[in-house]
Amino acid sequence: MVVILTLSATHLSQSQAATDDPLVTQAEESPQNWPAHGRTYNEHRYSPLNQINTETIGRLKLAWSSNFDTNRGQEGTPLVVNGILYATTNWSKVRAYDGASGKLLWSYDSQVPGPSAVRGCCDTVNRGAAYWNDKIFVGTFDNRLIALDAKTGHKIWEVDTIPKDAWLGDIRSYITDGAPRVAKGIVMIGNGGAEFGVRGFVSGFDAETGALKWRFYTTPNRSNQPDHAASDAPLMTIAYRTWGPHGAWIHSGGGGTVWDSIVYDPQTDLVYLGVGNGSPWNYKQRSDGIGDNLFLGSIVAIRPETGEYVWHFQETPQDQWDYTSTQHIMTADLEINGKKRHVLLHAPKNGFFYIVDAQTGEFISARNYVPVNWAKEIDPVTGRPNIVPDALYSLTGKPWAGLPGDLGGHNFAAMSYSAQTGLVYIPAQQIPMVFTPDAHPLKHKGLNLGISMQGLPDDPAIRDGFLKTLTGWLIAWDPKQQKEIFRVDHRGPWNGGLLSTGGNLIFQGLANGEFHAYDARNGADLFNFNAQSGIIAPPISYEVNGKQYIAVETGWGGIYPLLMGRTALSSGWTVNHSRLLVFALDGTAELPPQNDRGMIPVKPPEQFDAQQAAAGYQLYETFCQVCHGDNALSGGVLPDLRWSGAIHHLAGFQNVVGRGALTAYGMARFDDILSRQDIEKIRQFLIKRANETYAREVAARANPQNIPQGRAITE
């Protein structure tokens, strides 16, 4: 009898272990932890801890820091469980620290192959891990999902999340950089790649074994056949007829990647997927200009155990602006018009702040949180945008300057909601984009947008005009009134995500390398720390042995500086120093002396072939710009090719660009798509740009620190 009882007790605890982990599901009970991406399932990114507060903030100092081994964009949200901090870094690596002392307990390198970098649009970033039942789950840039033992960092299981036999379009340029989420023993993960050509989907895996439980595709099967997936019914009955049957999507896969927000809500028992943009962007090319293209630009609600479809709400029909709905989704209980409602709060790229019923997907309201010109309004009854005809550039065939631009009114930088103030804090930005339709046949490597990739000309007047339009600010938004309460202006766009705390503080790292705390009630600036590197990641807070800590990853990067190049440094001159910074009251640590020189100009060869260089510009903007910056001006993360030793020698440049001499560092080889002549044209273009800009870059550094000063920074 005793034996049987013992057995069944063991059995019970094992099966419970599989479907519940109170550390995560009851995170509200342990304010000292940050056990899930948004701390609690509601994704508020609010820590109730209040030792660091508006009174004590003056004593906040660096407690410890740790250098990462990748100086690229760091977008990770660390997790903290019972005093151990788990951080993910660029190239999908994981590090576990003693949260109090900063001692490194273990590190795990998922060994992402360098050449996979070129398969993604936006830096080899990673946004975080998930914790469940003593395991840490991380998605890797080459699309593996890995379960690690949280104590040792040893691998428990690993799966390839991309099915070999499914219809995924012809290009299949997948990457994974979002944080997995766990609910009811199922680990869920999506992917990115819609700028190149993929069919978006989310998978659910058994957290204990890695066995696939379900898969949900976000765009239809091109022949409207079953995929034998959870999404079959809604795709075949609802979505397929919203696509032009002969559009380019039948080659690209249509896009709709779920590359960031996946949210489980215990109250509705639903999982909300934030679905991305169309592939290619050009809607005329993608879908013959026909239909709304479900489930692009939508929130889709599914069941956690089965992936079964429940409802969807499309925010951006006919997407042609990269207006993803992947941005941070929160759940909240609000009193709206005298009625208690359980809702989703969402500020997608398209610039409107949406409130949607969490149970049914019913549209409640929307109001623009940044300046918007693509839609006159959101219909107050249907929730459908009233799109301005000129904004449909792929149909008019004419260039159109969009607000928001392709990088959105806010992007991956997380919001925060404080129930204490009733405000949602949004890391908002304005980066306009001119969309010029240019529908090339789809390539198997490189961007497939169906728009012109030409960037800004090197004309100071045009550059200055554009720079004036670039802004970034923190918005405190009252969702009940759908209105801005106050704002904090920053120097430019692309600032970090937000944390709010029980100490009535909001924390934010900035693109210019400062880390701030503001009063959550009025935005007063209460703390400013020189973090030595642009910050794009969101802070977290935790407690160990009665002491409250604030942690944030530093490391300038992501798509904005890679693609926009030098223009992005108008948010503040910054050199990437990738680290974890941890603050506490009366901390005594210091950062090493600052090095702000960045990439130093090197005298280029004097001769170049003007004709080849002109052709090289087009090739550069198509294949190189997305990482090395518009018009060969680097944004301070990846090498500035004007000063590269490789441009001095034809053979050396061919080796790097054509034959992959630097693939280990993430530089792809291009001999499968560029001829030797093409590569030489790019080299000639780089020599030309180096000559055009060398003197002014040297002049800009003519000061004792050797750091570009003033206006010269963005030249």
Instruction: Choose among Ca ion, ligand PQQ, none what residue 193 binds, the Cβ cut-off being 5 to 8 Å by kind.
Output: ligand PQQ
CA separation for the pair 416, 44 (Å, rounded): 5
The answer to the question of whether 559 is labelled as a binding residue is yes
The answer to the question of whether 194 is labelled as a binding residue is yes
Closest distance between ligand PQQ and the C-beta of residue 627, in Å?
A: 12
The DSSP 8-state label assigned to residue 179 in this structure reads P
The DSSP 8-state label assigned to residue 236 in this structure reads I
Q: How many CA atoms lie within 13 A of 696 on its CB side?
A: 14
The answer to the question of whether 150 is labelled as a binding residue is no
Ramachandran bin of 540, using left for φ above 0, alpha for ψ from -120 to 50, beta for the remaining angles: beta
Q: Is 322 a catalytic residue?
A: yes
Which residue in the block uniquely carries the two structure tokens 């120093």? 577
Question: Where does residue 582 rank: exposed (0-12), middle (13-18), buried (19+ CB within 10 A)?
Answer: buried
**Closest residue to Ca ion using C-beta atoms:** 277
Q: For residue 295, is the peptide bond before it cis, meaning its omega torsion is within 30 degrees of 0?
A: yes
Instruction: Choose among ligand PQQ, Ca ion, none what residue 393 binds, the Cβ cut-off being 5 to 8 Å by kind.
Output: none
Instruction: Choose among Ca ion, ligand PQQ, none what residue 568 binds, the Cβ cut-off being 5 to 8 Å by kind.
Output: none
How many CB atoms lie under 10 A from the CB of residue 406?
Answer: 23
Nearer to Ca ion, 277 or 504 (CB): 277
The answer to the question of whether 277 is labelled as a binding residue is yes
Closest distance between ligand PQQ and the C-beta of residue 246, in Å?
A: 23
Instruction: Choose among ligand PQQ, Ca ion, none what residue 214 binds, the Cβ cut-off being 5 to 8 Å by kind.
Output: none
Name the site residues for Ca ion (rule: CB under 5 A): 194, 277, 322
Nearer to Ca ion, 297 or 616 (CB): 297
Nearer to Ca ion, 349 or 490 (CB): 349
Alpha-carbon separation of residue 620 from 271, 466, 625, 628 (angstroms): 41, 21, 6, 9
Question: Any long-range contacts for 693-699 (C-beta under 8 Å, 24+ apart)?
Answer: 693/458, 693/633, 693/642, 694/601, 694/603, 694/604, 694/642, 697/601, 698/601
The answer to the question of whether 322 is labelled as a binding residue is yes
Question: Where does residue 166 rank: exposed (0-12), middle (13-18), buried (19+ CB within 10 A)?
Answer: middle
For the chain, what is the radius of gyration of the CA atoms? 24
Give me the residues paired with residue 519 across strands.
505
Nearer to ligand PQQ, 257 or 287 (CB): 257
Nearer to ligand PQQ, 260 or 640 (CB): 260
Instruction: Choose among ligand PQQ, Ca ion, none what residue 634 binds, the Cβ cut-off being 5 to 8 Å by kind.
Output: none
Instruction: Choose among ligand PQQ, Ca ion, none what residue 630 binds, the Cβ cut-off being 5 to 8 Å by kind.
Output: none
Closest distance between ligand PQQ and the C-beta of residue 556, in Å?
A: 11
Closest distance between Ca ion and the C-beta of residue 277, in Å?
A: 4
The answer to the question of whether 33 is labelled as a binding residue is no
Instruction: Choose among ligand PQQ, Ca ion, none what residue 265 binds, the Cβ cut-off being 5 to 8 Å by kind.
Output: none
Query: How many helices and strands, by DSSP H and E, does the chain display?
Result: 12, 37
Name the site residues for ligand PQQ (rule: CB under 6 A): 75, 121-123, 125, 177, 192-195, 257, 259, 276-277, 322, 324, 407, 411-412, 558-559
The answer to the question of whether 127 is labelled as a binding residue is yes
Specify the 3-state DSSP secondary structure of 58. helix
Closest distance between ligand PQQ and the C-beta of residue 304, in Å?
A: 23
Can you state the angle between helices 676-700 and 610-623, rounded to 10 degrees? Answer: 90
The answer to the question of whether 63 is labelled as a binding residue is no
Instruction: Choose among ligand PQQ, Ca ion, none what residue 75 binds, the Cβ cut-off being 5 to 8 Å by kind.
Output: ligand PQQ
CA separation for the pair 292, 285 (Å, rounded): 14
Nearer to ligand PQQ, 127 or 222 (CB): 127
How many CB atoms lie under 10 A from the CB of residue 231?
Answer: 26
One of 21, 142, 265, 322 is an active-site residue; which one?
322
> CA torsion sign, 397 to 398 to 399 to 403?
negative
Closest distance between ligand PQQ and the C-beta of residue 322, in Å?
A: 5
The answer to whether 499 and 539 are in contact (CB under 8 A) is yes
CA separation for the pair 614, 611 (Å, rounded): 5
Which tokens is 66 given?
């740790």
The answer to the question of whether 628 is labelled as a binding residue is yes
Closest distance between ligand PQQ and the C-beta of residue 177, in Å?
A: 5
Nearer to ligand PQQ, 177 or 514 (CB): 177
Q: In terms of DSSP bridges, do strands 514-519 and 525-530 run parallel, antiparallel, or are they unpaired?
A: antiparallel
Nearer to ligand PQQ, 43 or 123 (CB): 123
The answer to the question of whether 346 is labelled as a binding residue is no
Closest distance between ligand PQQ and the C-beta of residue 157, in Å?
A: 23
Which residues are annotated as part of the binding site for Ca(2+)?
Answer: 195, 277, 322
Which residues are annotated as part of the binding site for pyrroloquinoline quinone?
Answer: 75, 127, 193-194, 257, 349, 559
> Which residues are tagged catalytic?
322
Which residues are annotated as part of the binding site?
Answer: 75, 127, 193-195, 257, 277, 322, 349, 559, 624, 627-628, 667
